[in-house]
Amino acid sequence: MNELLDSPRMTAWLLGELPAQEAAEMERLVAAEPALQVAVREKQLFHARLSTLLGAEKSALEPRQRELILRSAKNNEVTPPANLVTLSPRRTYSSWIVLATAAAVIIGVWIGIHNPLSEQDGEMAVDSQITREIALLPSLAPDFPSENSSSAVAVGGSSAMDTRTALMTQKPNEFLVSIAKQIAHQPLPQISELPPVGRRGLIDANTHPRASLPIIAGTASWNWVKRCILEEKTLPNERLIRREEIINAFALDAGSSASQQGIEFTSEVAPVSNQTGHYRMAITLRNTNASATAVTMEYVPAMVDRYRLVGFDVDMGKQQVSKLLPAGAMTTIMLELQAPRALDQVGVLSAVVNGKSVDTIASLSSSSSVSMKHLLLIADFADWLRQPESSNAALLQAVNALESQLSDPQRLSSLVVIKQAISLANQK
């Protein structure tokens, strides 16, 4: 499957440049393989998202490029001109997954470089030497209160974190574009390259009456999980499972909405099934501006006894993080809330955008939206991956119940991943 995904014919087909007969053959191959369908949908979705982000029209090959791609598909010995980028002969993974990881710098999948920033003809140039340590750094929420006494220090340490923050603070939008153009293929990380993943404890609302929320999270873990399950046919190691990054691969499309200075906030609260007095709140931020925007967001837990972030489980101490949300960026986070009784309201979301504030009351939905139901399922799946021998039947039942309600290809693809993971767990 990897060979087909990385082939020139696949690239030409996705760009609509393959002759009709060959395009029909490619459609037949994709239709016959569910895992391939998932990967292709993601390529198409990423292409559309990146085109929107960069303000570009749909990509099209020039006649000379089209000729070279089609000719190389038939003859692997064709030598490309010097001005075309060639890929390393080592084993690679889907180029679109790698590009998605690069583009997700805007939401926390950080790639550092040796000499990070320089100017050439008014544009930012990026050194092509990738610092893998920074690429594998976890998402952080250092300003969110914690009552945990232990901490794990990730590979890279504070200097790598400082470099990551500096890159995003200086020119986040230009950095994104440059990395998307220049990043090399990245293999799945070795377990020794990643820090241990713990679990945040619930904190007391009286002790912490306000909490600063992260505005940026990664998505790398979702790609790692999918590649393990669909390509490697195995369940991922727990160090590959970062719950906030799995949740952040999707957005909340309904619920209460507010906007300020081009930043849109959408939130929804739903009860946790089979856990009386427990709730989960999903929040999606979108930057519709043409440039990076300064954003801070806090949660005021009125009426709630205890609460915590879902994920962000690697504690690296009081590291600095960028407060700039890049242009086109979208971030989804989730809070778990605990109260002694049924609630209609669980507090207030208070945000400041470029010095101007907007507050939203977080209220329990009368009925959960489809996107919220899906996010709850994804969060449950991320928890299940830590203990895949438990509740297989309940997870599969939730998948089957939601499947008929979904129409978005990305969300439907995630159900394929979950079903395959359950199948792998049942084989053990």
- The stretch 413-418 carries a mean pLDDT of 96
Structure confidence by residue, pLDDT tens digits, 151-177? 555 555 667 777 777 777 877 776 655
Angle at 427 between CA 250 and CA 235, to 5 degrees: 35
Q: What is the pLDDT of residues 351-371, one digit of tens each?
A: 999 889 999 999 888 889 999
Write the secondary structure of the chain as one string of H (helix), E (strand) and C (coil). Answer: CHHHHCCHHHHHHHCCCCCHHHHHHHHHHHHCCHHHHHHHHHHHHHHHHHHHHHCCCCCCCCHHHHHHHHHHHHCCCCCCCCCCCCCCCCCCCCHHHHHHHHHHHHHCCCCEECCCCEEECCEEECCCCEEHHHHCCCCCCCCCCCCCCCCCCCCCHHHHHHHHHHHHHHCHHHHHHHHHHHCCCCCCCCHHHCCCCCCCCCEECCCCCCEEECCCCCCHHHHHHHHHHHHCCCCCCHHHCCHHHHHCCCCCCCCEEEEECCEEEEEEEEECCCCCCEEEEEEEEEECCCCCEEEEEEEECCCCCEEEECCCCCCCCCCCCCCEECCCCEEEEEEEEECCCCCCEEEEEEEEECCEEEEEEEEECCCCCHHHHHHHHHHHHHHHHHCCCCCHHHHHHHHHHHHCCCCCHHHHHHHHHHHHHHHHHHHC
Q: Could you tell me the pLDDT band of residue 13, with boundaries at 50, 70 and 90?
A: confident
What pLDDT score was predicted for residue 57? 43
> Is the pLDDT confidence value at 207 over 70?
yes
pLDDT one-digit tens code per residue, 120-155:
444 444 443 445 676 778 888 988 998 754 555 555
- Write down all domains in the chain, each with its CATH number in brackets: 4-81 (no CATH), 103-372 (2.60.40.10)
- In the structure, what pLDDT confidence band is assigned to residue 294 with cuts at 50, 70 and 90? very high
More confident residue, 267 or 43: 267
Give the pLDDT confidence score for residue 12 in this predicted structure: 77
What confidence category does residue 6 fall into, taking pLDDT thresholds of 50, 70 and 90?
low
Residue 153: what pLDDT?
Answer: 56
Q: pLDDT value at position 403?
A: 94
- 130 with 111: CB under 8 angstroms? yes
Percent share of the chain, pLDDT over 90: 39
Higher-pLDDT residue of 183 and 34 is 34
Average pLDDT over residues 103-130: 41
What is the structure's pLDDT at 67?
55
Q: Is 299 exposed, middle or buried (0-12, 13-18, 19+ CB in 10 A)?
A: buried
Over 90: is that where the pLDDT of 203 sits? Answer: yes
Cα(220)–Cα(227) distance, integer angstroms? 11
* 317 vs 370, residue with greater confidence: 370
pLDDT tens digits along 383-398 = 999 888 767 888 999 9
In terms of pLDDT, which residue wins out, 158 or 310? Answer: 310
Could you tell me the pLDDT band of residue 21, with boundaries at 50, 70 and 90? confident
Quick check: 266 pLDDT over 70?
yes
CB 51, CB 148: distance < 8 Å:
no
What is the pLDDT, as a whole number, of residue 267?
Answer: 95
For the ranges 111-120, 186-195, 288-297, the lowest mean pLDDT is seen at 111-120
* Structure tokens that stand for 18 in this block: 């393959």
| pLDDT > 80? residue 60 | no
Average pLDDT, the chain: 77
Highest mean pLDDT among 40-54, 62-76, 143-157, 321-335 belongs to 321-335
Higher pLDDT, 9 or 81: 9
Instruction: Say what percent of the chain tops pLDDT 70.
Output: 71
pLDDT value for 254: 83
pLDDT, one tens digit per residue, over 220-249 is 899 899 999 999 999 999 999 999 999 999
Residue 295 in tokens: 């954003």
